[in-house]
Amino acid sequence: MGPRHRGDDVKSVGRAMANNNDLAVLEGALLAEIGGAGDLRALEDVRIAALGKKGRVSELMAKLGSLPADQRKAFGQSVNGLKQRVSDALESRKAELERQALSSRLATERADVTLPVRLGPLQDGRVHPVSQVWDEVAEIFGDMGFAVAEGPDIETDDLNFTKLNIPPEHPARQDHDTFYFHPKADGTRMLLRTHTSPVQIRTMMSQKPPIRIIAPGRVYRLDSDATHTPMFHQIEALVIDEETHLGHLKWCIEEFCKAFFEVDEVRMRFRASHFPFTEPSMEVDIDAAAIGKPGQWLEILGSGMVHPNVIRNCGLDPDKYQGFAFGMGLDRITMLKYGIPDLRDMFAADLRWLKHFGFLPLDVPTLAGGLSP
């Protein structure tokens, strides 16, 4: 017998593989292996053996280039059809095995929800003390019937000072105390609000009494030391109606202090003071026994009856309406309640500090369950 030529091999391969019966036999074998795969790992082995780089179907496609031109189209179509059917079978079997695996897992696994939470990365996260106190204060005043009002951090000179009866020569309006922006073309001066009182002004200008709101938020002043920072947090309260008087103000502050410091009684001292936007004005001190340090007085807030000029500036009649307002630093009362020695540490982004003073995400303050954990 004479030597075989390469052309003879190509023709024989083409004739053999072009035979639908041969492809049908291969397809039957592959589908049987797919159906017999008992788990996802076994199915992946079948996929690699069939469609992998050196798989049986892939090898057929590799031989396509060696076939005569008149046989390539029919052979290619037949192999592509085989490849598609095998791929579909693999996907179908994979979905079936995944459903079986999930059903088996659900049938065998149990979760005991009474067990303590496992320690892990999610447990390392902490709520900042100021955020916690913000929620505590909102919970207390919400129980008293106050709504939460908000406003922009960038305010006009008019809303931040003028409508609050603060005269042009007042030190708070000077550049050394307030962050001002460049004046606008029309001469309007914008600034970073120095208190949340503009929220009270906006509320009185947009709502009719009775008004009962708290206005928490960030405020900004040019000051920085162990007890002051250029940005800090403040909350103010405002009540406007036809009957509110100084006795209501004192009761409201006393009830807040008892609830916030979680004591049954609290001694308070009201000292005469002066604020342009209230008349009369009072500084409020509490006995430090509320935080376990009896014998000292702690200043916690400023308060007073809303000045008639402020009511008039907001378009209301001061002969008909009156009310009270008070404000306090959230950062300061946070330091007092939780024994934080330096205000600047609150803004240092030190995770060690936050892990020590912070709160777990599920420690949501409620009056029923207790404000602090």
Give me the CATH number covering residue 158.
3.30.930.10
Same domain, 192 and 78: no
Domain boundary among 74, 108, 142: 108
Give the Å distances, CA to CA, from 252 to 124, 201, 300.
37, 21, 14
Average of pLDDT values for 16-31? 70
Alpha carbons 90 and 50: distance in angstroms, whole number: 10
Same domain, 96 and 40: yes
In a domain, 121, yes or no: no
Residue 6: band (very low, low, confident or very high) from pLDDT cuts 50, 70, 90: very low
Total domains present in the chain? 2
**Each residue of 226-283: pLDDT tens digit?**
667 889 999 999 999 999 999 999 999 999 999 999 989 999 999 999 999 999 999 9
**Each residue of 185-221: pLDDT tens digit?**
887 889 999 999 999 999 999 999 999 999 999 999 9
Do 316 and 238 contact (CB within 8 A), yes or no? no
H/E element, 285: strand 278-287
Instruction: Write down the pLDDT at residue 121.
Output: 66
In a domain, 241, yes or no: yes
In a domain, 36, yes or no: yes
Q: Is the pLDDT of residue 7 over 60?
A: no
In a domain, 123, yes or no: no
Higher pLDDT: 293 or 150? It is 150
Same domain, 73 and 140: no
In a domain, 369, yes or no: no
Domain boundary among 108, 137, 153: 108
Average of pLDDT values for 316-330? 95
| Whole-number percent of the chain with pLDDT over 70 | 89
Q: Is the pLDDT of residue 1 over 60?
A: no
Same domain, 164 and 74: no
Same domain, 100 and 214: no
Same domain, 202 and 312: yes
Owning domain of residue 27: 10-108
Instruction: Write down the pLDDT at residue 110.
Output: 80
Alpha carbons 87 and 323: distance in angstroms, whole number: 77
Same domain, 82 and 46: yes
Instruction: Write down the pLDDT at residue 371.
Output: 67
Tell whether the torsion through CA atoms of 57, 63, 64 and 68 is positive or negative.
Answer: negative
In a domain, 346, yes or no: yes
Residue 21: band (very low, low, confident or very high) from pLDDT cuts 50, 70, 90: low
In a domain, 53, yes or no: yes
Residue 4: band (very low, low, confident or very high) from pLDDT cuts 50, 70, 90: very low
Same domain, 68 and 151: no
Peptide bond into 210 cis (omega under 30): yes
Q: Is the pLDDT of residue 144 over 80?
A: yes
Instruction: Write down the pLDDT at residue 145.
Output: 93
Q: Is the pLDDT of residue 52 over 60?
A: yes
Same domain, 275 and 143: yes
Higher pLDDT: 14 or 246? It is 246
Residue 366: band (very low, low, confident or very high) from pLDDT cuts 50, 70, 90: confident
Return the closest-CA partner of residue 177 out of 145, 219, 143.
Answer: 219
Same domain, 98 and 150: no
Same domain, 307 and 246: yes
Average of pLDDT values for 64-87? 79
Do 203 and 211 contact (CB within 8 A), yes or no? yes
Same domain, 62 and 154: no
Instruction: Write down the pLDDT at residue 9.
Output: 44
In a domain, 115, yes or no: no
pTM for the full predicted model: 0.64
Instruction: Write down the pLDDT at residue 225.
Output: 66
